[in-house]
Amino acid sequence: MFDFDLVHDRRAWSATKWMKHADRDVIPLWVADMDFPAPPAIQEALAAHVAHGNYGYTSAPRDLPGVLVEDYHARYGWAVDPAWIVWLPGLVLGLNLAVKACCAEKERAIAFSPVYPPFLHAPGLQGRELVDVPLKPVNPAGTAHVIDFKRLDEVMREPDTAGRQPPAATRLLLLCHPHNPIGRLFSRDELERLAAFCEKHDLFVCSDEVHCDLILDGQTPHIPFARAMAERSPALLARTITLHGPGKTYNVAGLGIAWAIIPDAALRRRFRAAMQKLVPEPCCFAYTAARAAFTACEPWRQALLAQLRDNRDRVSAALERMGLAHSHPEVTFLTWIDARALAEQVGNPATWFERHGVGLSDGGDFGRPGYLRLNFAAPPSLLQEALARMERALAAHRATLA
């Protein structure tokens, strides 16, 4: 019914993913967008909007907040008030605004590495301090992790990086849920323990949940962290910011639309004040795409999940043959790879694989040099060729060592 096999030439439209290697024979499996076209329903909605011919300033359509409210109730069992929604032209912007809204200058925000790079950069960019609490590996390869609650408690008591005792106040937890790049869902127990930690230390939480509609079994429900907080204590809902958008699930990241769900009116005002009238509305086409995504694309999403499951399994089988330890993600289209042994022999493994025709994300950007992130949201023939290149490169390298 939906075609995920066709390989499209995206370079004609200057796609960032492909233009990084524009003049070289490199298959890009790095930045987190998909090499599948957006759903037909979104394409049709955008075509109708283009045909209308007027692309002036556009506010959110009146029915769109209600569409999101219905979707949150149906998918996640969470009752959201339309007044809580703040529209944004991008999700990374939301992380930075959350830091400004929740932390005074030099106050601290916690993040769990390895993690999507803007989590590590946002505090410093806003003149605040980052407290990195690494996730706890549960296997020698460091490809499976849990939250390190012992370390979390410790960082709330010890001096900060400037040597201050007591440390500067910690105000915010930046949570990537589901997690990028490790591709796992935090368990109900972890979410409940994390909610208790936030309550104990009076923390705000900004939870990036942009990958939550990409749970690969297609059945496990996503638990919004704000809902977990409210279930612990209704008052804790006021300390939450939830970031979401259609960019990852429906491959419309280039249209620039996201939103923050902020239940507390005072926190919402601070968040809007942090925008300083410098943040534009999403573009007119972005609203059109979002409405179509949440009203007409569920059959496509289910077909996508089936394709991503097949691709994930193909990647895991190939990496097993290569002898590279890796995650087997529950969610997202991203595999986390331990290439530290290879790095000892060839230097940066991302640079080395790029020389052999495959562009991967450098784990150093996520706080873990020697690791790689592979984006498997690609037509099977393209993905298979990239994996074959990786296998050939490793086989040739190992032959030289024999």
Q: Summarize pLDDT for 148-185 with one digit per residue, the tens.
A: 999 999 999 876 666 666 668 999 999 999 999 999 99
Exposure on the CB side of residue 142, measured as CA atoms within 13 A: 17
Is the CATH number of domain 10-40+298-401 3.90.1150.10? yes
Say what the pLDDT of residue 402 is.
81
Classify domain 55-296 by CATH architecture.
3-Layer(aba) Sandwich (3.40)
Say what the pLDDT of residue 161 is.
62
| Nearest CA-CA partner of 350 in 362, 365, 332 | 362
Amino acid at 82: P
pLDDT in tens, 319-370: 999 999 999 999 999 999 999 999 999 999 999 999 999 999 999 999 999 9
Distance from C-alpha of 349 to C-alpha of 329, rounded to nearest angstrom: 21
Distance from C-alpha of 374 to C-alpha of 167, rounded to nearest angstrom: 38
Strand 371-375, strand 361-362: pairing? antiparallel
Say what the pLDDT of residue 277 is.
87
Distance from C-alpha of 305 to C-alpha of 315, rounded to nearest angstrom: 15
What tokens appear for 381 in the block? 């023939």
Say what the pLDDT of residue 158 is.
75
What tokens appear for 206 in the block? 């900004």
Say what the pLDDT of residue 165 is.
63
Which residues sit opposite 108 in a β-bridge? 129, 170
Say what the pLDDT of residue 83 is.
98
- The domains of the chain are located at 10-40+298-401, 55-296
Peptide bond into 159 cis (omega under 30): no
Say what the pLDDT of residue 162 is.
63
Strand 27-28, strand 85-88: pairing? unpaired
The domains spanning 10-40+298-401 and 55-296 adopt the same CATH topology: no
Report CA Rg, the chain.
21
State the SS3 of the chain.
Answer: CCCCCCCCCHHHHCCHHHHCCCCCCCEECCCCCCCCCCCHHHHHHHHHHHHHCCCCCCCCCCCHHHHHHHHHHHHHCCCCCHHHEEEECCHHHHHHHHHHHHCCCCCEEEECCCCCHHHHHHHHHCCCEEEECCCEECCCCCCCEECCHHHHHHHCCCCCCCCCCCCCCEEEEEEECCCCCCCCCCCHHHHHHHHHHHHHHCCEEEEECCCCCCECCCCCCCCCHHHHHHHHCHHHHHHEEEEECCHHHHCCHHHCCEEEECCCHHHHHHHHHHHCCCCCCCCHHHHHHHHHHHHHCHHHHHHHHHHHHHHHHHHHHHHHHHCCCECCCCECCEEEEECHHHHHHHCCHHHHHHHCCEECEEHHHHCCCCEEEEECCCCHHHHHHHHHHHHHHHHHHHHHHC
Say what the pLDDT of residue 221 is.
95
Q: What is the mean pLDDT of each run of 10 residues along the chain (402 residues)?
A: 92 94 96 97 98 94 97 97 98 98 95 98 97 96 95 85 71 98 96 97 98 96 97 97 98 97 98 94 97 98 98 98 98 98 98 98 98 98 98 97 87
Angle at 323 between CA 320 and CA 327, to 5 degrees: 55
The residue whose two tokens read 């007409």 is 296
Distance from C-alpha of 42 to C-alpha of 132, rounded to nearest angstrom: 39
Say what the pLDDT of residue 160 is.
62
Query: For 375, phi and psi rounded to 5 degrees?
Result: -95, 110
